[in-house]
Structure 1
Amino acid sequence: MAQAAFEDIAGDFEFLDDWEDRYRMVIDLGRDMEPLADELKVPATKVEGCASQVWLYPRWQDGVFHFEGDSDAMIVRGLIALLRTLYNGLTPAEVLQVDARAELGRLGLNDHLSAQRSNGLRAMVERIRSVNAAEV
């Protein structure tokens, strides 16, 4: 079961019939997200395997995972925002239990992202999983 914020987004997606509207919603999620500070956009936070520039900055507070992220592509910023609703606030062990492919599939993203965007999304999920696996 996904977090409440992700469930809210999934519910909103159900009411949007047109994929243009869904893309707009994803872009709006990214637009509403605070940009990552420039000093955190370093090679260690850069995600390889993405067509666009992507940075994920993980942190743990009181045993709970949070991350910030950014991209130079608006749709990717939106995907980062979606991933934040899926993972932020979980323990590292809970992060590893999330089936991101299935959860994002509920939104229809698996069928509507380009191959490059899908590869980039997979790379972001793998980065999130790997940094949390090191914390378990």
Structure 2
Amino acid sequence: MYGKLSESDLAQLKAQAQQQPQRLKFLIQQAASLPAMPAQMKVAANEVHGCEAQVWLVAEWRDDTLELHLDSASRVVKGLLALIYQALNGATPAQVAAFQLDALLAALSLDDMVSTSRRNGLRAVVTAIQR
């Protein structure tokens, strides 16, 4: 349900999110942890449609583990993408198939701060990854 994140990984992330005086600051810090996406991957063919902010995604399977490249023009969206990256980069097909975005956001107590339109965009990213 959380990709490759264990309960202890979730507890650690949740503690970090709750320690921040502002949860947006936590997301912006997460954005900084997302590995840089090569500029040549930021092309129209790799854009995920349905997101408010511009989002790029490249997902490849290597030896039955998922290799992700994600980026966004928005720092907050990029922070949310970083959480998806932590959950799914290096995950197995079964972990990817079982991943539930809403469950991850609820487990990190972030679900109330993600708007419906932003959540729909993130679901479009997860759906594209799960294909």
Normalised by the length of structure 1, the TM-score is 0.81
Consecutive unaligned residues of structure 2, counting only runs of 5 or more, are none
Q: Secondary structure at the match of 1:44?
A: helix
Runs of 4+ with deviation above 6 angstroms: none
Q: Match for residue 99 of structure 1? A: 100
Which amino acid in structure 2 is aligned with residue 123 of structure 1? A
Percent sequence identity is 34
Indicate if the aligned counterparts of 2:66 and 2:90 stay in contact, CA closer than 8 A: yes
Q: Match for residue 89 of structure 1? A: 90
Indicate if the aligned counterparts of 2:34 and 2:85 stay in contact, CA closer than 8 A: no
User: What RMSD over aligned residues (CA atoms) do the two structures have, in Å?
Assistant: 2.2
Matches within 5 A, 1:37-116: 37-116=38-117
Alpha-carbon distance, 1:109 to partner: 2.4
Indicate if the aligned counterparts of 1:6 and 1:85 stay in contact, CA closer than 8 A: no
**2 CA distance for matches of 1:32 and 1:110?**
21
Q: Match for residue 133 of structure 1? A: none
Consecutive unaligned residues of structure 1, counting only runs of 5 or more, are 131-136
Alpha-carbon distance, 1:81 to partner: 0.7
